[in-house]
């Protein structure tokens, strides 16, 4: 079952795998293969979700909201009426209480962040 779950086999892959296991010396019987196939068909999604949750190292991003505001107060007069992006992220593990992170970005920081996200996208696409 561990091999089936690790590969997240679809029904065709499962059938081929179980057939090979029944033909292998010291493998499983046809009845055992039928039970494993029925179990996998009924519980595949739950097993897959459980494996994903176990493989996460830390919190996940559950939700994100953003808006753009104009500063109406500041220590420095030249910063009044400048646009700022407010980003609120909901972080946490599924089934646990969330933590909220609120960030404020000026125009230069938004540009810098977009550049970094673009670099991340390029790295992921190259893989």
Q: Tell me the per-residue pLDDT of 67-126, one tens digit each, with 9 for 90 and over.
A: 998 877 767 776 677 889 999 999 987 677 899 999 999 889 999 999 999 999 999 999
Q: Which helix (H) or strand (E) holds 104?
A: strand 99-105
Which pTM value belongs to this model? Answer: 0.49
Helix, strand, coil percentages (3-state) for the chain, rounded to 5, are 55, 20, 25
Q: Do the Cβ atoms of 39 and 47 come closer than 8 Å? A: no
| Sign of the dihedral through C-alpha 58, 61, 62, 67 | positive
Give me the residues paired with residue 89 across strands. Answer: 64, 101
Q: Helix H segments across the chain?
A: 2-7, 11-23, 30-55, 107-126
pLDDT tens readout for residues 43-74? 998 888 888 777 767 778 889 999 998 877 76
* Rounded CA separation 85/113 (Å): 12
pLDDT value of position 50: 83
* Rounded CA separation 81/79 (Å): 6
- DSSP letter at 78? G
Residue 25 has pLDDT above 80, yes or no: yes
* Rounded CA separation 7/39 (Å): 16
């Amino acid at each position: 079952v561990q091999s089936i779950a690790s590969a997240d086999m679809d029904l065709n892959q499962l059938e081929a795998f179980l057939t090979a296991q029944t033909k292998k010396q010291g493998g499983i019987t046809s009845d055992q293969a039928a039970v494993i196939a029925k179990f996998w068909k009924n519980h595949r999604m739950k097993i897959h979700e459980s494996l994903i949750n176990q493989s996460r190292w830390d919190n996940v991003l559950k939700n994100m909201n953003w808006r753009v505001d104009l500063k109406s107060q500041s220590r420095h007069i030249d910063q009044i009426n400048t646009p700022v992006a407010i980003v609120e992220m909901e972080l946490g593990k599924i089934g646990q209480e969330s933590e909220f992170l609120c960030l404020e970005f000026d125009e230069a920081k938004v540009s810098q962040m977009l550049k970094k996200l673009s670099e991340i996208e390029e790295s992921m696409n190259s893989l």
